[in-house]
Amino acid sequence: MKIAVLTGAGVSAESGIKTFRDSDGLWEGHDVMEVASPEGFAQNPEVVLDFYNQRRKQLLSVQPNTAHYALADLEDKHNVTIITQNVDDLHERAGSKNVIHLHGELLKVRSTFDEDLILDWKEDLYLGDVCENNHQLRPHIVWFGEMVPMIEVAAEVVEKADAIIIVGTSMQVYPAAGLIQYAKPDAQIYFVDPKPSISESKKIMVFAEKASIGVPKVVELLN
């Protein structure tokens, strides 16, 4: 069976990474637009770089959780593609082979001049760190107002899927939230989130619980 999995911040919550909208619109104490927009970067690049330096350090200190591992296990029997809004690498570390990152990756940086010049990066990033062509490097993150280059590939994956699993997302950020509209009419949809933003229907089975509890149940149903 072809399975598309759409994940958001909630799948990594139990690994210790905070979600975005569970705490008063602040993200680790910051206004999201200040640290996640091209305007914010232009205005105060040090604050933005420092913010992502902290996120990168935090990521290197946390581990995948039961939900990431259960999704990786699905690959034993099915053709699985994970489409994640998360910038962490916890799906990959849990063993998932096909992961599409809609909003970029924390462990990569790119040239501010050439968006295709992307480098692996585990250290802190500072003003003055430049690419081979001497242009400042920035986090490889899709900020608010920027294009989501992987969205078309993701839509194709959803279109072909026989089953779709959605985990831990408030479904508020487009175009990611619109992906579900590409589902085949007969695709079964499973939604795991303690505060689900979608209601149960004939096509959608809702598991109103944490990812570590709900995801293994969905995986068992599909195996």
Residues at the interface with ligand APR (CB under 6 A): 8-10, 13-14, 19-22, 32, 85, 103, 168-170, 172-173, 193-195, 210-211
Cβ-based nearer residue to ligand APR, 163 or 171: 171
Closest to ligand APR by CB, 49 or 168: 168
- Residues whose CB falls within 8 Å of the CB of residue 146, separated by 6 or more in sequence, listed in order: 38
Amino acid identity, position 11: V
Residue 103 designated active-site: yes
Contacts of 167 (CB under 8 A, 6+ apart): 5, 6, 7, 8, 10, 11, 67, 71, 191, 192, 193, 211, 214, 215
CB closer to ligand APR, 118 vs 213: 213
Closest distance of CB 158 from ligand APR, Å: 16
**Residue 208 or residue 221: which is nearer to ligand APR going by CB?**
208
Contact 164, 189 (CB under 8 A): yes
38 or 194: whose CB is closer to ligand APR?
194
* Minimum distance from residue 42 beta carbon to ligand APR (Å): 19
CB of 211 to ligand APR, least distance (A): 4
* Nearest distance, CB of residue 210 and ligand APR, angstroms: 4
- Least separation in angstroms between CB 87 and ligand APR: 7
Position of minimal CB gap to ligand APR: 10
Active-site entry in 68, 91, 101, 103:
103
**Which positions are annotated as active-site residues?**
103
